[in-house]
């Protein structure tokens, strides 16, 4: 289970939650995947009813990918009745509608109910049927509530571990206190107002210079839009410095081109004889003075 150390895994496995009861699971791998899904959601009570390939199962342990304690503590039962005998509330997961009078609920609503029951000290469980056909009507009839996952009505096909994960996820989320939205900034803190103001002024100065803000009437609204855009980005100090570096490097080629044009204009304004005096080799034959001692051309 990547991203979770052993100490945290041990704490998760001791959390109270509903028992997950797999009825006649066909593949050891699917049992392992379901165990992995369980531990991700803080569930550890795994009960197996007549697994087809026997138990223990090496393939299940390999597929559990670190959820070893769930696999090792799994209990084996000969019937659904025996696996649920100690429970006070039983939910049965099934994707198919059944012709029976029984309350139907979703995993999200069931999670809130299960949390409330657990808080009162009641032992609860959730039934999952075999991979091919799911629970039989007789098995479903043993449950108090039909647990139905509302998915695409044209294609509602979950494998065993996916079904366990959806139910387990809702259970876990029902007990979480989600913190307000936050923005991790690593080693860089949120930019100070002075840094943002410096960025805004730097950008606006260069936009003025290149003519982007030439429309004086629209300039105030464009500037406000640009500032609001960058405000929403919640920039860090490092990001402000990066953006200012980008602006500076975008401006440098323009400044270099402008400098070249100015230099060329200055050269054009200097008389040819003055340029020659300073070692310029340009000019026509008529402007060049013959060197002393040189033979005159005929």
pTM comes to 0.67
With respect to residue 186, please indicate whether it lies within any of the assigned structural domains.
no
Question: Is it true that the peptide bond before 215 is cis, omega within 30 degrees of 0?
Answer: no
Q: What is the pLDDT of residues 130-177, one digit of tens each?
A: 988 889 999 999 999 999 998 888 887 889 999 999 999 999 999 988
Please tell me the distance from the alpha carbon of residue 84 to that of residue 47, in angstroms, as a whole number.
9
**Residues forming beta bridges with residue 190, ordered by sequence position:** 236
Q: What is the pLDDT of residues 83-141, one digit of tens each?
A: 999 999 999 998 877 778 999 999 999 999 999 999 999 999 999 999 888 899 999 99
Please tell me the distance from the alpha carbon of residue 140 to that of residue 102, in angstroms, as a whole number.
10
Q: Which helix (H) or strand (E) holds 91?
A: strand 89-93
Contact 237, 188 (CB under 8 A): yes
Residues 247 and 199 in one domain: yes
pLDDT exceeds cutoff 50 at 277: no
Number of domains in the chain: 2
Residues 234 and 96 in one domain: no
Contacts of 107 (CB under 8 A, 6+ apart): 147, 149, 166, 167, 169, 170, 171
Residues 160 and 264 in one domain: no
Share of the chain above pLDDT 90, in %: 64
Contact 192, 237 (CB under 8 A): yes
Give me the mean pLDDT over the 59-67 stretch.
93
Contacts of 257 (CB under 8 A, 6+ apart): none
Residues 109 and 202 in one domain: no
> Residue 129: which domain range?
6-174
What pLDDT does residue 290 have? 52
Which two three-digit tokens encode residue 88?
A: 């006070």
Residues 49 and 122 in one domain: yes
């Amino acid at each position: 289970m990547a991203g979770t150390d052993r100490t945290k895994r041990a704490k998760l496995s001791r959390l109270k939650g509903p028992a997950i009861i797999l009825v006649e699971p066909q593949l050891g791998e699917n049992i392992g995947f379901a165990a992995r899904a369980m531990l991700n959601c803080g569930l550890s009570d795994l009960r197996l009813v007549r697994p087809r390939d026997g138990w223990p199962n090496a393939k299940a342990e390999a597929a559990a990918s670190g959820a070893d304690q769930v696999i090792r503590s799994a209990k084996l039962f000969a019937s659904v009745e025996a696996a649920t005998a100690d429970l006070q509330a039983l939910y049965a997961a099934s994707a198919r509608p059944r012709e029976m009078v029984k309350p139907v609920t979703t995993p999200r609503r069931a999670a809130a109910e299960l949390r409330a029951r657990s808080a009162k000290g009641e032992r609860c469980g959730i039934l999952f049927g075999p991979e091919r056909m799911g629970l039989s009507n007789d098995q479903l009839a043993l449950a108090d509530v039909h647990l139905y996952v509302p998915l695409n009505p044209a294609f509602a096909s979950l494998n065993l571990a996916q079904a366990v994960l959806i139910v387990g996820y809702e259970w876990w989320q029902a007990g979480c206190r989600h913190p307000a939205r936050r923005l991790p900034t690593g080693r860089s803190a949120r930019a100070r107002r002075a840094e943002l103001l410096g960025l805004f002024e730097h950008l606006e100065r260069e936009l003025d210079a290149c003519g982007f803000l030439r429309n004086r009437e629209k300039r105030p609204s464009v500037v406000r839009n640009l500032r609001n855009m960058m405000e929403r980005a919640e920039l860090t100090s490092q990001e402000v410095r990066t953006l200012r570096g980008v602006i500076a490097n975008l401006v440098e080629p323009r400044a270099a081109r402008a400098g070249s044009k100015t230099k060329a204009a200055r050269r054009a304004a200097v008389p040819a004889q003055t340029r020659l005096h300073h070692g310029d080799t340009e000019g026509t034959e008529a402007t060049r003075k013959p060197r002393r001692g040189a033979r005159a051309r005929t």
